[in-house]
Structure 1
Amino acid sequence: MWYRRIGQTAVRRAGARGTRALVSGCVLAALGLAAGPAPGALAAPAPVSGAATDASAVPVVPETTAHTVTLVTGERVTLRPDGSVVVAPRPGAEADYVTRRLDNDVFVIPLTALPYLGRTLDPALFNVSALAEAGVTTTPVRLEATAGATAPPSGPAFGAALARQIGAEAVKGSMGEGPLFGGVTSVAPAVATDGLRDTPRPSVRTDHTVKVTVLGTDGKPLPGTTSFALANADDAALYQEPFLDAVDGETRVEVPAGHYTAMVSAPAFDSAGEPAGVRMATAEFTVPDSGTGTEAVLDLRKATERVTFSTPRPAEEHQLILHYLRQDAKGAVAVNGGVGVSGGSPVQVQPSGRPVTTGDLRFNVYTHRRAPADAATPYSYDLKLANPAGTIAKNQHYKVTGRHLATVRTNYHSDTPGRAQEVARLMYLPYETSGEALSEPFKTPARRTEYVGGSAGASYADWLKAGERRFVSQEQPLVPGRTTTVDWLRGPLVPGFTEPARGAAADGTWYCSACRKGDALTFSLGTATVTDSAGHHVLAVPSDITSSHFAVVSGDTTLYEGDGVPGGVLTVPPEKAPYTVVYDQTRTNGDFRQSLTTHTEWTFASGHSGGQTVPDNWTCVSEAGEYEGPAECSALPVVVPHYRLDAGLDGTSPAGDGHLVVGFGHVPGVVAPPAVTKARVEVSFDDGQRWTATSITTLGKGRFRADWTTPDAAAGRDASLRVTGTDAGGNAVTQTVRSAFTVAAARG
């Protein structure tokens, strides 16, 4: 089996989950915010006349390469740097799909496309890794068709037409055999290709014929075209094919001798083209070195166990994702795939008669479940549960009790009433290097209690889409019994710094964004150009930043300044000296009203760093302009504000008493940081023309409460904030946020 390869895939799964590897070959150049050839593209900075230092940019960390692709069938897939995907349905439909992972490529294939895969539909249409690398946002297609035949435009229209055709074919009892849409014989991506994929394999004899039969639930060869995966379980490098086609239930392949594993996920459809259920069947068999005529059977009748759940409170299934990971005897991936369905379609799997004897098998299930529509208050469940190693359990009913669960009381803020948002929770088990999730649409502002449960060692990271902006949390461990409150997009939304989650794994690489290694001074906001009060940040450098200016000053000398860059690396003199970093940012985005314009000044002192103070799993930019180990690296004493604004979920606060609690800390990695001892908060109700100092109360541990009186005349207007914090060492931050909140309109 082959498929067309689209360019070179640079979006690569990290070596270990949570590791953010460097883009190879990065040189000293400014990180551009303007649109470029691909996410995370580099652009050269303008030199500063008379500067005594060398200024350049932080090498790109791949979280800026997260990319969203609209498939030919209309589903939107966001690919994260570790290979995780978040799938959103085409409008008016559910998102039902399978995934296949081969080498570093991630394929997301809608169930409606499976019967045509490799025949009419080129698998490269669904290689989201390659599409992302090619810069594709909506998949362009190239058609081959008989005279007069055509196809709907790529996207939702194509997907809807495909569903109609598969519904009609399902009624007839055979799917995927003929052309699409009355005469389309081939659909392939219309982007530059570099020929056919041909992963180098060891030179071995592949002269053993295997007949593979896929049997339907009636015990007969399954009509139409069925896609399945096959791999050598001794050494997947000898033979590994994620997309083989059984036509009318049969195919023959030539393979080397050895132990083999096969897996099929076969959907059934109703007359409307909607999935009526999915069955996953597997087979383990041996191809002897001597002898011919090996036969293997994938029997859907053996997929008898429906995956079901029970939870402490009534909950309806909205998403179900299965992950099947088959490893060879060397520990390498042989078959890596999954099934995702929404809307409650039944999914049945074939339980194992015994653990696999060659290599290993890992199988787990994830579900997202929601409270019934008549529940007094909204709640949900997210559960990720593993089967015993080596098996698919005979009992696929999962009963979860309260002691297995963490409770997250989640507030979804929105300064634009009724803003359409999507949310997803990526959950990981210890052996997984990437995850999958289906996005859930909803309207904000909103509150929900979210119960999260999983097998031992589970962790999760959250994802939220507001308008066209995607925000993420840091990955965090799942702690049963813990109750937390989480605010999403609670304002003000400001430039800041990302921080490791509490309890994050110590072996995950962390890239220092405010550090000094020798005389290389790094100061980079990266994707933290927009963060909320809980530290959630944009998934990639946002395209709605219409203007920004970054400058580094020491004394009376401007060391570097440039537009459209959120940070840089400077080689500075070894002597200890004061530095001021200034960053101005304006965003233009109709989905947000508040915090679109900010001005921030960070002041700190720094001298030559000859010793290591950051943790061993950190990496820092050296004077050579590349990320290296933590030797001679220390975090800069940069002060950072954290806001708790007394405003509603809609970003409004009434006239009268106004409050803000601001906590000041330092960027991650600072050892024994000086205490923040001074704070000043000012508020303006006329867009910054006049500022009023607030009354400050010290709360301890760097926290301060600001109180003021909002005049009745300000009702219906936006209010701005200017906040300053200074530590005992003289390091300080001043941040000005225009339209930080809105004074509620007068009642009556």
Structure 2
Amino acid sequence: MATVLGLVVTGGIANADGGGSGGAGAGASSGARTGGAEITLATGQRVGVGPGGVLAGRAAGLSWRTGGDGDRYAVPPAAAPYLGRPLDRSLFDVTELAKLGAGQRIPVRLTFAAGVAPSAPPGVTLTTVDGGTAGGYLTVDSARTFGAAVRAAIGADVRAGRPAGSGELVPGLTDMRLASVAPHRVSPRYPQAIVEFRATDLAGAATTTGVHLVNTDDARRADVDVPVVDGVGRVAVPVGHYSFTASFRDFDEQGEQTGLHYVVGTDVTAEAGSTTTVPVAESAASAQVSVATPRPTVPAQAMVRFVRSDAVGGGFEDLQGVADDDALYVSPQPAAQVGTLHYVLQYSGQSPAGGEAYRYDVAFAFDHIPADESLRVADDQLATVHQHFFGDPAQAGDTGMLYSGAYDDVLAHTPTMLNPSPAQQMPGEVTDYVGTADGGGWIQAIVNGNGLPFWGQPRRYLAGHEYDVDWGRGPLAPGVGQYPEPAGCVACVAGDTFDVGLEFAVDSDGHATGFMPRGVTTSFRLYRNGTLVADRPMPYLDAELTADPAEPADFRLRYETDQTAVDTVSQATRSVTDLTFRYAPSTAVAMPAPGSCAGQSADEPCRVLPLLSASYRLAVDARNTSELATQTMRLRVGHQRYGRFGSTAPITAVRVEVSTDSGTSWQRARVAGAHGRYRVSWANPASARGSSPSLRLTATDALGGTLTQTITAAYTIAG
């Protein structure tokens, strides 16, 4: 199941289970998507990978980069000064680390200076030594030890009055990288030139830092981290045009970031036969970022997103940020001469303690980096979003996090990181003033009281309008959903590649998760023309298969979940979802970019398969509990859609049944409505108070597709 927005969640995923394995059935690809994967960076930060966006578990200045190679990198602040010297960026390559699987060892390769006998850095276990090189690994636990050593080394530099990262991290260590990744080399197929960076600090003295240099004729030609030591860093690269970024970070004596000067060079030309000298002065980052809001706010996080597109449609994104009231400075730059520049400043602030709960999420976009970064938010640039958070009565905690990320026509094509809130009461409510200066597009997400992330889809808000958004309102059930814009496809065909699946749980507003609590068991089966083609155990949610796209076929998907062994889940404890659909070339609707799916290419667009989808909205309180004698529910039945793209086949029948005796008997509910929108009602008998009834939905469409879904303990009747 492909996604345009590859997601990363760091920290806060207390109970996510992304591990597991299982072979594909006949005809199915073994590379099908799992429900999500929890991984660990080399410095110990826990990271979960799934569909949606990028969620930083705490506002601590984690940087995010998409390289010219298409991989995605999440770099903690204390590790940034060591990139390229001696820490290779592969140690923070989320794309590669996700392939290792949850809880697996992180294999590393180390190189030491001539004459230095290899020794194990803190947390690293060596398994082989060959001259000046060694192999070894980190574990989930020992990576935290290594991360603590990195922060301690930064703190030692601060105490000694040295530039952060200028001291020796490990005696004689010159390179440490992920063992499964080949060293990145600049392409020798082009004439080479020398670029020399001269770095100075705020006082004008030579300093140590790192520079990220990318070719803007074609980012695939060169995308390198250049270490700058004692003011000088040199690299040989193909002749051509370049852009660079450099981060000068302030740290305290514990190795925690306290401020950032972000220096950008929009256009640099490397000419053959000469050395191009480029000044990288910390003082060039002279514009301090500040945001004034109509109501008082306490800063939670500010970040800048630098999207630099090359001349052939590729490029890279670099995201840097600070937390709380740490200072952030950027260097003014003109618009790009080669390719394009898209610069977005995003700010999140919360209400002062002790009063009404509100927050601001605002963003401003430019085709250059302005000299004046003191931005003021006007009332007529805001939409008001009332965020409502629901929870399971048995959930582990009463706090979670709300995240927001700006989304516009450029950011739609690049993975994104979302600003985290401080701890958010869940169940609870907050008024979110959302900015529209960048077109009003936002992606939002939560991590709930059980530590599970739920992602929303891109949504565009209008200034002056009010909205209500429910998170975690039940019943939570597997589904495919209906999305307002093209996005990563849940069930699509591209060329001869069919990728058919579901999300693990979808709430009443269509927010979805592929993560599963520890202790859950699942089963995924896919049939084509009556033949089983995939039989996937937990945690798999889909299957890929190859078939002739010109040949019509009948598909059946059966997905079962069981959460009865999970102590923190008391609702939607079991579910059985049985979907059938008839595929024909005419029933699969082409979806344009930024939609994405397995098998997609320039010649083979994603085509959305006509899977039925249901959205339930129960009349319940914030614990998904009802006091009503006559229960009501709004129900929408349709097809997987991405804006205008997806099946519009009419819904021909809908039936809802309720059981208050664990499925022994079922009573038919009253269903009123048509064209996919229904109001459903049934009795909550006094004899069932304190229990959790089950729901069963049956629906059909004009194409012959069917959906049967049974949800055990869908909600709770108050005792």
For normalisation by structure 1, the TM-score amounts to 0.76
Could you tell me which residue of structure 2 aligns to residue 302 of structure 1? 284
Question: Distance in 1 between the 2:18 and 2:314 partners?
Answer: 40
- Measure how far apart 1:546 and its partner are: 0.9
Task: Give secondary structure in 2 for the equivalent of 1:132.
Answer: helix
C-alpha contact (below 8 Å) 1:619/1:627 kept by paired residues: no
Task: Give secondary structure in 2 for the equivalent of 1:718.
Answer: coil
Question: Distance in 2 between the 1:336 and 1:561 partners?
Answer: 37
C-alpha contact (below 8 Å) 2:305/2:345 kept by paired residues: yes
User: Relative to 1, partners in 2 of residues 1:727 and 1:472: Cα closer, same or farther, differing over 3 Å?
Assistant: same
- Measure how far apart 1:76 and its partner are: 3.1
Q: 2:473 aligns with which of 490, 503, 508?
A: 490
Task: Give secondary structure in 2 for the equivalent of 1:88.
Answer: coil
C-alpha contact (below 8 Å) 2:107/2:180 kept by paired residues: no
Could you tell me which residue of structure 2 aligns to residue 435 of structure 1? 416
Q: Greater relative contact order: 1 or 2 (C-alpha under 8 angstroms, separation 6 or more)?
A: 2
Task: State which drifts further: 641-650 or 69-78.
Answer: 69-78
Report the RMSD for the aligned CA atoms in angstroms: 4.5
Letter of the aligned partner of 1:527 in structure 2?
L
Q: 1:719 aligns with which of 693, 698, 705?
A: 693
Question: Distance in 2 between the 1:339 and 1:596 partners?
Answer: 40
Question: Distance in 2 between the 1:412 and 1:733 partners?
Answer: 28
Task: Give secondary structure in 1 for the equivalent of 2:98.
Answer: helix
User: Relative to 1, partners in 2 of residues 1:485 and 1:201: Cα closer, same or farther, differing over 3 Å?
Assistant: farther
C-alpha contact (below 8 Å) 1:138/1:154 kept by paired residues: no
- Measure how far apart 1:590 and its partner are: 3.6
Letter of the aligned partner of 1:125 in structure 2?
L
- Measure how far apart 1:304 and its partner are: 1.8
Question: Distance in 2 between the 1:129 and 1:138 partners?
Answer: 15
Question: Distance in 1 between the 2:664 and 2:567 partners?
Answer: 25
Could you tell me which residue of structure 1 aligns to residue 122 of structure 2? 151
Larger Rg: 1
Question: Distance in 2 between the 1:327 and 1:620 partners?
Answer: 19
Letter of the aligned partner of 1:399 in structure 2?
R
- Measure how far apart 1:70 and its partner are: 2.0
> 1:265-315 CA distances to partner (integer Å, 9 max, x unpaired)?
1001123323221111234555565666x5332122232211111122222
Could you tell me which residue of structure 2 aligns to residue 6 of structure 1? none
Could you tell me which residue of structure 2 aligns to residue 472 of structure 1? 455
Question: Distance in 2 between the 1:149 and 1:297 partners?
Answer: 36
- Measure how far apart 1:193 and its partner are: 2.7
Q: 1:111 aligns with which of 57, 62, 77?
A: 77
Task: Give secondary structure in 1 for the equivalent of 2:375.
Answer: strand
User: Relative to 1, partners in 2 of residues 1:534 and 1:302: Cα closer, same or farther, differing over 3 Å?
Assistant: same
Could you tell me which residue of structure 1 aligns to residue 658 of structure 2? 682
Query: Is structure 2 residue 602 aligned with structure 1 residue 614?
Result: no
Could you tell me which residue of structure 1 aligns to residue 354 of structure 2? 374
Question: Distance in 2 between the 1:699 and 1:576 partners?
Answer: 32
C-alpha contact (below 8 Å) 2:557/2:580 kept by paired residues: yes
- Measure how far apart 1:328 and its partner are: 4.9
Question: Distance in 2 between the 1:167 and 1:329 partners?
Answer: 41
- Measure how far apart 1:117 and its partner are: 2.8
Q: How does 1:406-445 map to 2 (within 5 A)?
A: 406-415=383-392, 416-417=394-395, 418-432=397-411, 433-440=414-421, 441-445=423-427
C-alpha contact (below 8 Å) 1:620/1:630 kept by paired residues: no
Query: Is structure 2 residue 24 aligned with structure 1 residue 44?
Result: yes
Letter of the aligned partner of 1:198 in structure 2?
R
Could you tell me which residue of structure 1 aligns to residue 636 of structure 2? 663
Q: Please, which runs of 5 or more residues in structure 2 have no aligned partner?
A: 8-16, 124-140
Query: Is structure 2 residue 377 aligned with structure 1 residue 400?
Result: yes
Task: Give secondary structure in 1 for the equivalent of 2:84.
Answer: coil
C-alpha contact (below 8 Å) 1:662/1:704 kept by paired residues: yes
Query: Is structure 2 residue 61 aligned with structure 1 residue 73?
Result: no
Task: Give secondary structure in 2 for the equivalent of 1:318.
Answer: strand
How many aligned positions are there? 671
> 1:70-90 CA distances to partner (integer Å, 9 max, x unpaired)?
2222323445679x533224x
Question: Distance in 2 between the 1:659 and 1:150 partners?
Answer: 61
Question: Distance in 2 between the 1:729 and 1:202 partners?
Answer: 54
Task: Give secondary structure in 2 for the equivalent of 1:125.
Answer: helix
User: Relative to 1, partners in 2 of residues 1:108 and 1:559: Cα closer, same or farther, differing over 3 Å?
Assistant: closer
Q: Sequence identity of aligned pairs in percent?
A: 26
Could you tell me which residue of structure 2 aligns to residue 97 of structure 1? 63
- Measure how far apart 1:603 and its partner are: 6.7
Letter of the aligned partner of 2:589 in structure 1?
V
Q: How does 1:231-630 map to 2 (within 5 A)?
A: 231=214, 239-241=222-224, 243-254=225-236, 260-283=242-265, 294-328=276-310, 332-333=314-315, 336-352=317-333, 354-376=334-356, 378-387=357-366, 389=367, 391-415=368-392, 416-417=394-395, 418-432=397-411, 433-440=414-421, 441-457=423-439, 459-466=441-448, 467-499=450-482, 501-502=483-484, 504-505=485-486, 510=489, 512=491, 524=500, 526-539=501-514, 545-548=520-523, 550=525, 562=535, 564=537, 583-587=559-563, 588-602=565-579, 606=582, 609=584, 611=586, 614-615=589-590, 617=592
User: Relative to 1, partners in 2 of residues 1:521 and 1:259: Cα closer, same or farther, differing over 3 Å?
Assistant: closer
Task: Give secondary structure in 1 for the equivalent of 2:95.
Answer: helix
User: Relative to 1, partners in 2 of residues 1:172 and 1:528: Cα closer, same or farther, differing over 3 Å?
Assistant: same
Task: Give secondary structure in 2 for the equivalent of 1:348.
Answer: strand
- Measure how far apart 1:497 and its partner are: 1.9
Q: 1:170 aligns with which of 153, 158, 164?
A: 158
Query: Is structure 2 residue 197 aligned with structure 1 residue 212?
Result: yes
For normalisation by structure 2, the TM-score amounts to 0.79
- Measure how far apart 1:121 and its partner are: 2.8
C-alpha contact (below 8 Å) 2:488/2:596 kept by paired residues: no
C-alpha contact (below 8 Å) 2:190/2:239 kept by paired residues: no
Task: Give secondary structure in 1 for the equivalent of 2:715.
Answer: strand
